[in-house]
Amino acid sequence: MYTILKENDIISSVFPKGVKRNKENTKGWLMSHFDVSAVRLYLYTISKNADQQSLNKLTTYVQKKIENKEFYSFWWTDFVYTLYYLFKASIYLKEDTIQSFVKNYIEENYSFNKLTTSFKSNNFYIGMLLGIYCEDEGFYYKNKKNAQLIASQLISTQYEDGSWESTPSLRIFKPSIINPQEHLLDPVKDISTSRIDKLFVDYNRLFTSSKCYESLQQYKEVCEKTGIIF
């Protein structure tokens, strides 16, 4: 979990006294964010009270963004967070366009031997990647070597108390920032628990550990279903 900022703390840290908020200096926060849309799509799919018209509109919006290659990660340091929720939503919806996009993107960019050292050391993202592989039995079977390598790494790096080490993954930019790729944050220097324009620390490793545990449980279940020994 991450520290929840109070509104006054946010305002005072971003807008000093005498500086007024306007459309320009809050444009980054107010624009649509693809990673947020992915999570919202997933929440719509699992909600019993979701409005079907809103769900259809959001699905079409995501499809068009994918078709026009207008996808990115704004609040998170890696796109795998967005892919994770897109894939889960597409499975629920039985939506082929989004599902195929995620599968192809993962296979092209996230095979284990292509992963950077920084990504491999981020257990939160590694857990999400394993969760994607295990969400669909056919996709898991096709990529079982990658899934097995990730699972082995997670098992070997788990602490005795059951948790996993965390790496700052959530980023909170200044509200005027529009393109996160042009405003990179240093994973060593730009770390905080309560300030803007920083990478945020995982509170007591809970966010990371819960994701790793959930993905390993999925891995165990898909191994049993496919007859592959865990």
Query: What is the residue-wise DSSP string for 80-144?
Result: HHHHHHHHHHHHHHT-HHHHHHHHHHHHHH--GGG--HHHHT-HHHHHHHHHHHHHSHHHHHHTH
Whole-number pLDDT of residue 79: 95
First to last CA, the chain: 29
pLDDT of 21: 57
Coil, helix or strand for 172? strand
Identify the pLDDT of residue 193: 64
pTM, to two decimals: 0.84
Asked if residues 201 and 193 have their Cβ atoms less than 8 Å apart, the reply is: yes
Kindly state the helix (H) or strand (E) to which residue 199 belongs, with its residue range.
strand 198-200
Which residues have CB under 8 Å from 32's CB, separation 6+? none
The secondary structure of residue 76, as a DSSP letter, is: B
Confidence at residue 177, expressed as pLDDT on a 0 to 100 scale = 78
pLDDT of 9 reads: 46
Pairing of strands 170-172, 198-200: antiparallel
212 CB-side CA count, 13 A: 27
Calpha distance 155→134 (Å, rounded): 16
Q: What DSSP character marks residue 23?
A: T
Strand partners, 76: 170
pLDDT at 11: 45
**Model pLDDT, residue 226:** 79
Looking at residue 93, its pLDDT comes to 94
**What does pLDDT average to in each consecutive run of 10 residues of the chain (230 residues)?**
44 48 63 90 91 93 94 90 97 95 97 92 96 96 95 96 92 79 68 73 91 96 80
pLDDT at 191 (0 to 100): 74
